[in-house]
């Protein structure tokens, strides 16, 4: 985790440095101040610093991460990653509804509305699929 938060700090510093160089370069090239690239680089730098800060806080709250041990093995990271439903069809229906919604943004609002009508039951079904039936928790 140390490497990850250092990488966030490096990304933040690099993006802020490049924003300054970009602003200066576009100014001396005669284009004037070009705000879109500078703002994009500043936002990228803020994102890097946000990543650095979050990982720094998490690293202080959690026990030692096995990835920080130079003699650590891959097996040290093993454990339960979560519960994944092996039989659920709801993600497929939700993906098809989302694809219809995104296609509706390109084609027309009528298709987006049709996608929303398919997405709502898919979300509800995926949320409540373990409340009743043979696979209830």
User: Does a structural domain hold residue 103?
Assistant: yes
Domain count for the chain, please give it: 2
d(CA 52, CA 136): 40
Q: Are residues 64 and 96 in the same domain?
A: no
Q: Are residues 49 and 104 in the same domain?
A: no
Q: Does residue 4 surpass a pLDDT of 90?
A: no
Domain that holds residue 112: 90-127
User: Does a structural domain hold residue 115?
Assistant: yes
Please give the full DSSP string across 62-98, using - where no structure is assigned: S---GGG-TT--GGGG-S------SS--HHHHHHHHH
User: Does a structural domain hold residue 117?
Assistant: yes
User: Does a structural domain hold residue 33?
Assistant: yes
pLDDT tens for each residue of 90-125: 999 999 999 999 999 999 999 999 999 999 999 998
In angstroms, the Cα distances linking 48 to 2, 55, 100 are 14, 11, 34
d(CA 52, CA 5): 5
Q: What confidence tier does 73 reach under pLDDT thresholds 50, 70, 90?
A: confident
What pLDDT score was predicted for residue 11?
A: 95
What pLDDT score was predicted for residue 39?
A: 95
Q: Are residues 43 and 7 in the same domain?
A: yes
User: Does a structural domain hold residue 84?
Assistant: no
User: Does a structural domain hold residue 137?
Assistant: no
Q: What confidence tier does 135 reach under pLDDT thresholds 50, 70, 90?
A: low
User: Does a structural domain hold residue 18?
Assistant: yes
């Amino acid at each position: 985790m140390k490497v990850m938060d250092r990488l966030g700090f490096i990304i933040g510093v690099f993006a802020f440095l490049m924003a300054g160089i970009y602003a200066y370069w576009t100014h001396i090239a005669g284009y004037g101040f070009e705000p879109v690239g500078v703002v994009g680089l500043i936002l990228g730098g803020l994102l890097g610093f946000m990543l650095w800060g979050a990982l720094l806080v998490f690293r202080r709250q959690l026990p030692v991460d096995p990835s920080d041990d130079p003699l650590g093995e891959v097996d040290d990271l093993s454990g339960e990653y979560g519960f994944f439903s092996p039989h659920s069809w709801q993600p497929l229906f939700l993906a098809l509804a989302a694809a219809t919604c995104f296609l509706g943004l390109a084609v027309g609002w009528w298709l987006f509305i049709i996608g929303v009508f398919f997405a709502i039951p898919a979300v509800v079904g995926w949320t409540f699929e373990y409340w009743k039936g043979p696979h209830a928790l």
